[in-house]
């Protein structure tokens, strides 16, 4: 069986085309990266102009980026650490994938650590305090609330936010898609919460939890 060798000239042309494609691909990636950085800086600047004056204090750490719009509307403190990423263009999203970080009351505070990755349509609302550690993964449409927003008593239902208890989420926690975390909950380090779970009670460290309400399924060794 004879093996046909391609002419050297053809191979050189093909190699040249591959190099051009690689250079073009790198250029496109660099332009996209530049656009994302500029868009993120604009979103943070626009947020500060539009809503920052309402807050007691708002901080965004070094290399924290917003790939989707950010909204607040609160009047408390918003403290975001370094190298956090909000929004993921390729993930499922509703509308523009807007992220809401709302320290609602004057004395409320939302504290977010470093190196966390948030997907789209995240909602974190604090009447008192919500704390999230470092290195966490937060799926799309996750909601974290430290209050009930209304009283159960029909007489006072529209007059109060109801019971308020701080929420504390540890380091390296993974919250799956559409997880809801309610008031008074603490979640230990390295814990994974399955998609669409409702977390009403605290979860220990190093476990996998899921369900409505969320319960420990197994421990991570």
Position 200 in a domain: yes
Position 121 in a domain: yes
Please state, in angstroms and rounded to a whole number, the distance separating the CA atoms of residues 168 and 188.
9
Position 175 in a domain: yes
For the chain, the domain total comes to 1
Give the pLDDT of residue 157.
77
Give me the percent of the chain exceeding a pLDDT of 90. Answer: 52
Q: Tens digits of per-residue pLDDT, 10-63?
A: 545 555 566 656 776 666 656 655 555 566 555 555 555 555 555 556 788 888
Q: Tens digits of per-residue pLDDT, 104-124?
A: 988 999 999 999 999 999 999
Please state, in angstroms and rounded to a whole number, the distance separating the CA atoms of residues 56 and 107.
8
Q: Residues 60-88: what's their mean pLDDT?
A: 89
Position 14 in a domain: no
Domain of residue 206 covers: 51-219
Give the pLDDT of residue 159.
77
- 207: domain CATH number is 2.160.10.10
Position 114 in a domain: yes
Contact predicate 174/155, CB 8 Å: no
Give the pLDDT of residue 90.
80
Q: Which residues are catalytic?
A: 150
Give me the percent of the chain exceeding a pLDDT of 70. Answer: 74
Please state, in angstroms and rounded to a whole number, the distance separating the CA atoms of residues 181 and 212.
11
Position 133 in a domain: yes
Share the mean pLDDT of the chain. 84
**Residue with more model confidence, 3 or 89:** 89
Q: Residues 88-98: what's their mean pLDDT?
A: 82
CA angle at residue 134 from 129 to 136, to 5 degrees?
95
Position 27 in a domain: no
Position 107 in a domain: yes
**Residue with more model confidence, 134 or 35:** 134
């Amino acid at each position: 069986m004879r093996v046909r060798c391609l002419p050297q000239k053809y191979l050189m042309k093909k190699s040249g085309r591959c190099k051009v494609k690689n250079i073009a691909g790198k250029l496109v990636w660099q332009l996209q990266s530049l656009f994302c950085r500029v868009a993120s800086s604009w979103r943070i600047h626009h947020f500060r102009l539009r809503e920052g004056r309402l807050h007691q204090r708002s901080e965004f750490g070094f290399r924290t980026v917003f790939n989707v719009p950010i909204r607040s509307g609160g009047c408390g403190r918003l403290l975001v650490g370094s190298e956090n990423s909000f929004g993921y263009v390729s993930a499922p999203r509703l509308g523009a994938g807007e992220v809401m970080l709302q320290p609602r009351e004057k004395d409320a505070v939302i504290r977010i650590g470093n190196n966390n990755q948030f997907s789209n349509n995240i909602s974190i609302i604090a009447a008192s305090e919500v704390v999230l550690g470092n290195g966490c993964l937060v799926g799309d449409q996750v909601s974290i609330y430290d209050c009930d927003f209304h009283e159960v008593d029909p007489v006072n239902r529209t007059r109060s936010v109801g019971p308020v208890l701080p929420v504390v989420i540890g380091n390296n926690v993974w919250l799956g898609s559409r997880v809801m975390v309610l008031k008074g909950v603490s979640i230990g380090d390295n814990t994974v919460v399955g998609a669409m779970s409702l977390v009403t009670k605290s979860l220990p460290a190093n476990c996998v939890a899921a369900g409505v309400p969320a319960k420990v399924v197994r421990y991570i060794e």
